[in-house]
Amino acid sequence: MRKPFGVKNVCEADGRYVIRLSGPADLPYGFGIRVLRNSTPDSRPEPVSPQDRPGSALAHAPHRSGDRSLHTPRGARNAGRYGRSGTLPPVPGRSVLHFTLCALCCVLFALITWQVAVDGPLAGLDVRLGDTLRRTSPPAAVAELFADLGNLAVALPVLAAAMTYAVVTGGGREGQGARRWLPPVCAALALVLTGVAVTLVKVWLGRPGPPGGTNYYPSGHTATAAVAFGGAALLFSLTARRPPYWPLPATAALLTLACSAGLVWRGYHWPLDVVASWCLSWVVLTGAVAVTLRGLGRSPAPPP
């Protein structure tokens, strides 16, 4: 029968604390010291680093019996789709961001429209800025080429090709059956609603343009380019089998910016005309994306 042992924490002269054992003892594993047999009160245990002990890789791991479940549901959670990386919960920040951008676009569109209607100081600054930009225009052929991107003869075939591709491919697994028609229909309705809204505002304000005449606010070419190219990017993003998706909306944004710059350089529109069309097009496209993704049973946030 083994004799009981005593453990005492003693402070040495140099300020270190050591453990003194009285009597022979075999301590269980895990105390962080190597205990010598037949220890005497004057014997000093040798400290051992946890990395030097056998099985140190599991030294800091939580231990549990094999028949007990985890205390937290971490083991039962799925980190995303099989074969893909993802976060555990859905990310709500993306929907909030798009809603905030839509609200800002609506406020900016209302502010610009008010200044144009009352011929305020912002409208006067817009005229001076347009004259300056026309003087810094690139060659006329380049500016005209950029401005023509907003023609229906250019933008409409791009959207029609994307709609045809979406119908033929079915829009992925979620687009089988009648759902394959939902994305093309939403893209077409977005273009139609944008044209109606632009026409109504043009007739209501009747703003004069740089070449003369009226009904230049907002820019119809800019709105057509933004919605047509943006809708095509949406349709191709829904049918793409592998990421990344960002080159599609980035290309649509670059084409829209090129069209806007060409319209201002050639003197077809004032700068605020194209800015107002950006705001209107963003709101329409965001609504079309939300309706499309909800109809397909996906997250209401647009694809990245």
Same domain for 99 and 38: no
Q: Which helix (H) or strand (E) holds 124?
A: helix 121-135
User: What whole-number percentage of the chain has pLDDT above 90?
Assistant: 43
Does a structural domain hold residue 60? Answer: no
Does a structural domain hold residue 72? Answer: no
pLDDT digit string (tens) for 192-245?
A: 999 999 999 999 999 998 988 889 999 999 999 999 999 999 888 877 666 567
**Is residue 303 over pLDDT 50?**
no
Does a structural domain hold residue 202? Answer: yes
Same domain for 125 and 19: no
pLDDT digit string (tens) for 43-77?
A: 555 554 554 555 544 444 444 444 454 454 444 44
Does a structural domain hold residue 153? Answer: yes
Same domain for 141 and 30: no
Check if the beta carbon of residue 277 is closer than 8 Å to that of residue 222. yes
Same domain for 119 and 31: no
Same domain for 253 and 143: yes
pLDDT digit string (tens) for 280-301?
A: 999 999 988 888 878 776 544 4
Domain count within the chain: 2
Same domain for 281 and 141: yes
Residue ranges in 1-92 assigned as alpha helix (H): none
Same domain for 171 and 30: no
Nearest in space to 29 (alpha carbons), one of 9, 5, 54: 54
From CA 259, how far away is CA 221, in angstroms rounded?
A: 8
Does a structural domain hold residue 302? Answer: no
Check if the beta carbon of residue 252 is closer than 8 Å to that of residue 229. yes
Same domain for 20 and 130: no
Nearest in space to 298 (alpha carbons), one of 227, 235, 238: 238
Does a structural domain hold residue 173? Answer: yes
pLDDT digit string (tens) for 72-98?
A: 444 444 444 433 444 444 444 567 887
- For residue 33, what are the β-bridge partners? 47
Same domain for 221 and 154: yes
Same domain for 101 and 34: no
Instruction: Name which residue leads in pLDDT, 175 or 260.
Output: 260
Nearest in space to 136 (alpha carbons), one of 255, 267, 225, 258: 267
Does a structural domain hold residue 78? Answer: no
User: pTM of the prediction?
Assistant: 0.65
pLDDT digit string (tens) for 122-153?
A: 999 999 999 999 988 889 999 999 999 999 99
| Torsion of the alpha carbons at 126, 127, 132 and 136, rounded to the nearest 10 | 90
Domain that holds residue 13: 8-49
Same domain for 223 and 102: yes
Does a structural domain hold residue 147? Answer: yes
Same domain for 287 and 155: yes
Q: Which residue has the tokens 């107002």?
A: 276
